[in-house]
Amino acid sequence: MFVPPCFLELPFGASPATVITVAIIAVVVIAILASGYLKAPPDTAYIISGLRKKIIIGKASIRIPFFERVDKLKLQLIAVDVKTSSAVPTADYININVDANVNIKVSSNPVLIKLGAENFLNRDTEYIGKVAREVLEGNMREIVGQMTLESMVNDRKAFAEKVQENAAPDLNRMGLEIISFNVQNFRDDQNLIENLGIDNTTKIQKKAAIARAEAEKEIEIAKANAKKEANDARILSETEIAQKNNQLAIRQAELKKESDTQQAVADAAYEIQREEQRRTIEVSRANANIAASEKQIELKGREAEVKEKALEAEVKKMAEAARYKAQQEADAKLYQLKKDAEADRFQREQDAEAHKAEAEAAKFAKMQEAEGIAAVGKAEADAIRAKGLAEAEGINAKAEAMKKYGEAAVLEMYFKALPDIVKNAAAPLSQVDKITMYGDGNSSKMVGDIIGSTVKITDGLTEATGIDIRALLAGFLGGKIADGKLGTASSVVPAQTAVEPEIYTEPESPLETL
């Protein structure tokens, strides 16, 4: 082990000359060792050869002067621009030029660095890059011949990996390694790559258009769903409102029916006497109103059916038009158009149902009104029936009484009615201002005509009742004469039974004026 002279212990009794000599030797040794001290940077390999062989990278060591030498090997990264010097045919026989950027360096691997030292010791990076460029160009031309143009253009990474795999063994044998390999450009004289780019651009544009259409379709679908939900909510609300309105109308009709029934009963009881002569007209009017209500209800039903059929036809035509239009448009709009058609048809069906419900409510109201009118008519009919029964009972009572009185009652009725008969027979004469008759005895003839009318009335009563009034009267009078109880004619026939008209005679004319 080497010990500096200052730490050496001089032997006892050594002379100063000896000490100086030892010191000089020590200084010389230190100077020699100092001149052999080496410290290698990380990007340079120091290779010591001679007594020993040693490679130093980023470390310190000592070279023995005169016995060992030191050489430097650059480990820096070297950028190499690799281009094909001429066009290279691809696997599909298309001539192209390739431009690539490659980064290489002398490998730090202990095995490879020895090969690098053998080939590039004390060489600059320009020389190393030139050698590597030639190797890489040859391998790149070889890989170009194995691949098609489209595969290289579409997958540059695969091309670069194949070049690296093919060139790595050649470079490793020189102590080099590839750090990176990037293809810069492919060129051809026929613009085929540009055409491929146009084709890819078109495909990308197509994909983008499809993606955009899909996105728009999803947006439209979302809008349609939102619109459908809003429409469903609105229809549900309107349906509930319509149902409540129908229930209200039905309840009002029921209340009105009860009120009309009670009012009809009260009015029928109050108006029996006063409405007796108008019963036929009211019954006819009630029947007419019922018939009109039935016709109106039937008309409303037919209108609802017509509207429903019209709506169905309109929806069908719209659906057919929508289907024809959808066939001409893009797939992105097809779904939307169908949904719009279905939503429109659903809306129209709901409207038709609402109209139908209104028609049903109107029909029910009319039926309630008809029932009220029928109740009024029934009440009136009951009143009329009651009155008729009362009158019939009265007539029956009179008939029984007349039956008991017998012929005397008949004669009494006849004599009571006879003045009115004669008066009514002569009534037309009271409406005449002046009557002019020619000939004699005209006044007696006129009176005879009035009496003849009375006789015809008596004959009509005989035919109607089956009782011979003349025979009955003759028997009655004969009995009275036989008993001596018959008085004057005035006691039998009232004075009002005959009226003698006044006769005015003009002296210069045979006319007689009454």
pLDDT tens digits along 19-72: 888 888 888 777 776 666 777 788 788 888 887 788 888 787 777 777 788 888
| Packing angle of the helix pair 110-120, 125-144 (nearest 10 deg) | 110
d(CA 339, CA 225): 9
Torsion of CA 237, 240, 246, 248, to 10 degrees: -100
Mean pLDDT for 214-235 is 87
Asked if 380 and 275 count as a contact pair (C-beta separation under 8 A), the reply is yes
Residues 6+ apart with CB under 8 A from 263: none
* pLDDT tens, residue by residue, 144-157: 889 888 888 888 89
For domain 76-190, give its CATH number from 3.40.50.300, 3.40.50.1440, 3.30.479.30, 3.40.50.720: 3.30.479.30
Q: Identify any residues that bridge with 100 across adjacent strands, giving them in sequence order.
A: 82, 183
* pLDDT tens, residue by residue, 398-443: 666 656 555 566 666 666 766 776 667 666 666 666 666 555 555 5
d(CA 357, CA 250): 12
pTM of the predicted model as reported, rounded to 2 decimal places: 0.35
Helix or strand or coil: residue 81? Answer: strand
Asked if 80 and 129 count as a contact pair (C-beta separation under 8 A), the reply is yes
Q: Where are the domains of the chain?
A: 1-30, 36-70, 76-190, 221-401, 406-513
**Helical residues (DSSP H) of 40-96, grouped into ranges:** none
- The sign of the torsion formed by the CA atoms of 292, 297, 301, 306 equals positive
The pLDDT value given to residue 266: 72
Q: Considering only 60-69, 185-194, 265-274, 479-488, which range has the smallest mean pLDDT?
A: 479-488
